[in-house]
């Protein structure tokens, strides 16, 4: 009996000893000598990498079918065990990977920036940014294009515009096109059009500029008379690529917009993600009754129906009787518009009037509701919205500093993207329908480039639509969109800003990352070693250096090495993880 009691006691003590050893297993980090508790860190001389030849019995046996010792060694230091703990948590071996330049970047161009030699260096920053954050982007200058093409601006059949379009069409797989500069730097295509609605509602004829010319790969001068996009030319008017114009006149303006873009991607104020603003003027009159554009917003299936339920919507409508929105809307004036924009909005939609020098206005002379380009330029809003408007002419870029350009180039605020018109905007007769289609796509994904919504709207804008103002004494379906208004709207719409700009539908936090780097130089080769924190596993990491792109196949506890020419002085890192904003930073090496 005594022998049996002693045997039981020994077995219990042995079990306790084994368990206590397992609880003191060191946790490894990317440096190999760090632990969750600094007091438990091993010294620099400790070999913390896993070695399968460390004397452990790894061959299975009848007593130990899994391999390895199951008994504690009485000579083993319980504070520094060599074996995995009882949960089989093996230390992760740190590895080193040397990455080569991406061949995909050399052969695949998803986005193209067309600019001039004077702006080339400024727009290369945009290209690097978009490339390291996921979209292979290249820069080409007008001078480069014209070296290999005829650019005779006295001949509309062989001018610079045609040379640019031919070059754009030659880039296989292109999705986004940026025109880097005002019309003095990057010309636009002048087109002719006529628009008429029945009942005497509207009748317009005009010659105006259209950047859709570059995005639609159909022939805009089928009859070869040098007049583009006439009815007999039968242009498709469907965008093959998303085109946006960064309408800047100086390098300083380009760099200012670039700084806004980086902030929008990396430090967007999540408190403003679900905030939207609707601005409505009197659209027109029917039988002596003023038709408020707010009626269109409030109609089932129209603008408000596209906005998610969790969004807050501030409504500023011109005073009218009846007043759309009831007690959910407020009266529009310049002060309320300015205050609402500076409050911080992610999305602003405007249906109403404008002019070259007026961002929003009424038809008549009403200074209380004439929000000028100067007012737009002086805005001080930290969050830069997507401002979608169907106003007349505020998006044109021929006359110096239109209201839309002032909004985009505002030094202390403004917008990150502005959608407007280069000529008469048709409001609820086309422009509002285009915007509604854009919004359907914008809110379909947690985040996506605004160019995707631009393309979606071009493919899905209806060619026929009616509108029934919610006024009892009217009660008729007024035809507001026909083939003429569809054609006019497609040609006149302009997107100012970068078409790759991400619209944040959902609040996601800025992304913080710690990147350690070491540089060694030997015989004209500069070797950069990058160490990433373990929480980056699964993220998309890209490095741009020496005009080459490196895709990082990142694994936890990994050192990444890149061999560069010794003349390379900087590397740029971009990271995107799920449910986060972007990381973007340039490092000196």
- As a whole number of angstroms, the distance between CA 327 and CA 330 comes to 7
Q: CA separation (Å) from 149 to 155, 164, 165, 171? A: 13, 9, 11, 15
- As a whole number of angstroms, the distance between CA 495 and CA 452 comes to 12
**b/e code 44-77 from CB counts within 10 Å (16+ = b):** eeeebeeeeeeeeeeeeeeeeeeeeeeebeeeee
- As a whole number of angstroms, the distance between CA 260 and CA 385 comes to 11
| Per-residue model confidence (pLDDT) at position 487 | 95
Which residues are CB-neighbours of 172 under 8 A, at least 6 positions away?
109
Q: How many CA atoms lie within 13 A of 219 on its CB side?
A: 10
Burial class (CB in 10 A: 0-12, 13-18, 19+), 346: buried
| Per-residue model confidence (pLDDT) at position 75 | 46
The residue with tokens 């208004």 is: 485
SS (H, E, C) 222-267: CCCCCCECCHHHCCCCCCCCEEEEECCCCHHHHHHHHHHHHHHHHC
| Per-residue model confidence (pLDDT) at position 471 | 63
Read off the DSSP letter of residue 459: H
Question: Which candidate, 391, 394, 393, 385, places its Cα nearest to that of 414?
Answer: 385
| Per-residue model confidence (pLDDT) at position 221 | 94
| Per-residue model confidence (pLDDT) at position 407 | 98
Is the link from the previous residue into 322 a cis peptide, with omega within 30 of 0? yes
> How many helices (H) and strands (E) are present in the chain, helices listed first?
15, 30
Beta bridge partners of 275: 312
- As a whole number of angstroms, the distance between CA 517 and CA 533 comes to 12
Contact 396, 356 (CB under 8 A): yes
Burial class (CB in 10 A: 0-12, 13-18, 19+), 296: buried
Query: Which domains does the chain carry?
Result: 1-93 (no CATH), 266-504 (3.40.50.1460), 511-588 (2.60.40.2420)
Q: CA separation (Å) from 400 to 107, 183, 187? A: 39, 10, 14
Write down the pTM of the prediction.
0.83
The series of mean pLDDT values per 10 residues for the chain, 589 residues long, is: 42 36 31 35 36 39 42 47 53 74 93 98 98 97 97 96 98 97 96 77 86 97 92 92 97 98 98 98 81 93 97 96 92 98 98 96 88 98 98 89 96 98 94 98 97 98 87 70 93 98 97 89 93 80 95 74 95 92 95
Structure tokens at 532: 């990433």
Alpha carbon 455 to chain centroid, angstroms: 14
Name the H helices within 59-132.
103-107, 120-132
| Per-residue model confidence (pLDDT) at position 473 | 57
Beta bridge partners of 518: 529
CB atoms within 10 A of CB 535: 12
Which residues are CB-neighbours of 251 under 8 A, at least 6 positions away?
118, 119, 121, 122
């Amino acid at each position: 009996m005594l022998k049996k009691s002693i045997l039981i006691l020994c077995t219990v003590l042995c079990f306790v000893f084994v368990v206590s050893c397992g609880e003191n297993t060191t946790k490894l980090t990317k440096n190999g000598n760090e632990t969750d508790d600094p007091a438990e860190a091993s010294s620099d001389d400790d070999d913390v990498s896993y070695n399968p030849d460390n004397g452990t019995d790894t061959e299975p046996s009848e007593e130990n079918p899994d391999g390895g010792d199951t008994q504690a060694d009485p000579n083993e230091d319980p504070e520094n065990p060599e074996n995995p703990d009882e949960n089989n948590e093996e230390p992760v071996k740190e590895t080193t990977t040397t990455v080569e330049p991406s061949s995909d970047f050399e052969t695949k161009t998803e986005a193209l920036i067309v600019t001039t030699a004077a702006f080339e260096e400024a727009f290369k920053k945009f290209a690097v940014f978009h490339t390291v954050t996921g979209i292979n982007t290249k820069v080409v200058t007008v001078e480069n294009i014209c070296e290999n093409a005829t650019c005779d601006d006295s001949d509309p059949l062989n001018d610079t515009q045609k040379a640019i379009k031919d070059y754009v069409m030659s880039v296989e797989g292109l999705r986004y096109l940026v025109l880097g500069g005002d019309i003095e730097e990057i010309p636009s295509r002048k087109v002719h059009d006529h628009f008429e609605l029945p009942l005497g509602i509207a009748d317009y004829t005009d010659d105006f500029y259209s950047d859709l010319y570059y995005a639609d790969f159909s022939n805009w001068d089928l009859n070869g008379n040098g007049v583009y996009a006439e009815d007999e030319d039968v242009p498709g008017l469907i965008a093959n690529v998303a085109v946006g114009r960064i309408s800047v006149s100086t390098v300083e303006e380009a760099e200012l917009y670039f700084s806004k873009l980086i902030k929008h991607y990396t430090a967007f104020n999540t408190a403003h993600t679900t905030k939207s603003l609707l601005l409505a003027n009197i659209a027109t009159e029917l039988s002596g009754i003023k038709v408020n554009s707010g009626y269109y917003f409030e109609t089932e299936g129209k603008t408000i129906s596209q906005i998610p339920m969790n969004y807050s919507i501030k409504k500023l409508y011109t005073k009218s009787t009846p007043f759309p929105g009831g007690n959910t809307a407020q009266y529009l004036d310049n002060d309320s518009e300015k205050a609402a924009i500076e409050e911080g909005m992610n999305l602003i939609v405007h249906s109403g009037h404008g002019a070259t020098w007026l961002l929003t206005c009424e038809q008549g002379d009403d200074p209380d509701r004439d929000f000028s380009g100067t007012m737009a330029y002086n805005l001080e809003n930290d969050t830069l919205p997507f401002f979608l408007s169907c106003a007349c002419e505020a998006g044109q870029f021929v006359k110096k500093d239109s209201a839309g350009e002032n909004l985009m180039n505002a030094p202390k605020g403004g917008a990150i993207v502005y959608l407007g018109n280069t000529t008469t905007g048709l409001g609820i007769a086309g422009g509002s329908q285009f915007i509604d289609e854009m919004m359907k796509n914008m809110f379909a994904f947690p985040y996506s480039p605004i160019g995707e919504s631009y393309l979606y709207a071009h493919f899905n804008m209806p060619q026929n639509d009616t509108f029934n103002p919610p006024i009892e004494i009217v009660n008729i379906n007024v035809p507001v969109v026909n083939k003429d208004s569809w054609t006019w709207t497609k040609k006149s719409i302009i997107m100012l800003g970068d078409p790759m700009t991400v619209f944040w539908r959902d609040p996601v936090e800025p992304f913080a990352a710690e990147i350690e780097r070491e540089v060694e130089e030997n015989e004209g080769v500069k070797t950069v070693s990058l160490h990433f924190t373990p929480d980056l596993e699964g993220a998309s990491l890209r490095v741009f250096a020496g005009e080459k792109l490196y895709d990082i196949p990142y694994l936890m506890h990994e050192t990444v090495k890149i061999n560069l020419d010794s003349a390379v002085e900087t590397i740029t890192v971009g990271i995107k993880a799920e449910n986060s904003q972007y990381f973007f930073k340039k490092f000196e090496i």
